[in-house]
Amino acid sequence: MSTTQTSKIEIIKAATTKINEVDFENLSFGSVFTDHLFECDFKNGEWQKPVIKPYAPFLLDPSTRVFHYGQAIFEGMKAYKDEDDAIWLFRPDENYKRFNKSAVRMAMQEVPEDIFMSGLKELLQLDEAWIKRGKGNSMYIRPFMIATGTGVIANPSDDYKFMIILSPVSAYYAGEVKVLIAEHYSRAANGGIGAAKAAGNYAAQFYPTSLANKQGFQQVIWTDDATHTKLEEAGTMNVFFRINDTLFTAPVSERILDGVTRKTLLELAKSEGINVDVRPVLVSELVEASKNGSLKEIFGAGTAAVVSPISGFSYQDVYYELPKNENSMALQLKDKLTNIQNKLAEDTFGWTVKV
């Protein structure tokens, strides 16, 4: 193990690498991690010196606040390697801004941009051999922050730990996805933390999703908490509906996450001349569109899968199968987006950032 110093980041290199133990042709999403991680603590009212060090477990006091009051946030990002072995990030500024938006909502310390971006880029460069070329291959990036102050008094923590870990991933295939439209459970409520990428949002989804799984559905399309008449998100993704040749999606709100993939697809669709309508979409509209044949596609959008087509949905015990679509708007948009991310097409939007 060797230690080097940049102007701002201490780097402790792993004595050995795990890369030769990894089967990159058969990666299970988010289960394999690179040799190093980035860490920076907020203590005594200020950010400490950042460090990149070997990936390893770490100890926390049993009274650490994250365990008791759930102050935990995260982001999901990806890095790509082009045919010249250059590393590229996709819209990292959007993830950074959303990370701190989540921090503010959860009464946590905001992370300075130089710590977030410098740490991310330095870590990617150190573990660059783990990033494989080729469309479908990428490095999934998980920045996260937890409350590390101790004591079980119900107050925000004074101390925090910000970390970044890296996980190589290959093409994400979810298979056929059938969804159940929620009639009782909600992902988030007005005035709540739905717009924050808070860990607890995802924990709260597990139980109703498990109930849907038992009925043969892979995911839940969440509806608004007050009336359960408005369609909001699909699983852990934003959701789009194609009715005839118009693409519909719900507006972001206190309940709906401002997804980076969502806003990217909206901009791509508009640039392609696709009619886009951002407004609340009613369950009754979806059911009627399915009955009259105008509903062509439903798909989820998020960092992991990029685009995840949905084959059918169930509402009030009635299942509605979507038509097989040879001219899939979802797959066309996914192809255009992934070509930009992998530097296989010109980035006229200025979304890609070289590391």
The full set of domains in the chain, from first to last, is 2-169 (3.30.470.10), 178-341 (3.20.10.10)
pLDDT < 50 regions, the chain: 5
Helix (H) or strand (E) holding 123: helix 113-126
Which tens digit of pLDDT belongs to each residue from 126-172? 999 999 999 999 999 999 999 999 999 999 999 999 999 999 999 77
The residues, ordered by sequence, that sit 6+ positions from 112 with a Cβ below 8 Å of its Cβ are 47
**Eight-state DSSP code of residue 49:** -
Identity at 338, one-letter amino acid code: T
Integer Cα distance of 245 and 49 in angstroms: 53
Residue 26 sits at the vertex; the CA angle it makes with 328 and 330, to the nearest 5 degrees, is 10
Contact 126, 50 (CB under 8 A): no
Distances (CA, A) of 110 to 50, 174, 263, 265, 322: 15, 34, 23, 28, 44
Contact 134, 140 (CB under 8 A): no
Q: Which two tokens stand for residue 127?
A: 């573990």
86 φ/ψ sector (left φ>0, alpha ψ -120 to 50, else beta): beta
Integer Cα distance of 261 and 255 in angstroms: 17
Distances (CA, A) of 71 to 125, 149, 158, 341: 30, 10, 11, 32
Question: What pLDDT, on a 0 to 100 scale, did the predictor assign at position 326?
Answer: 83
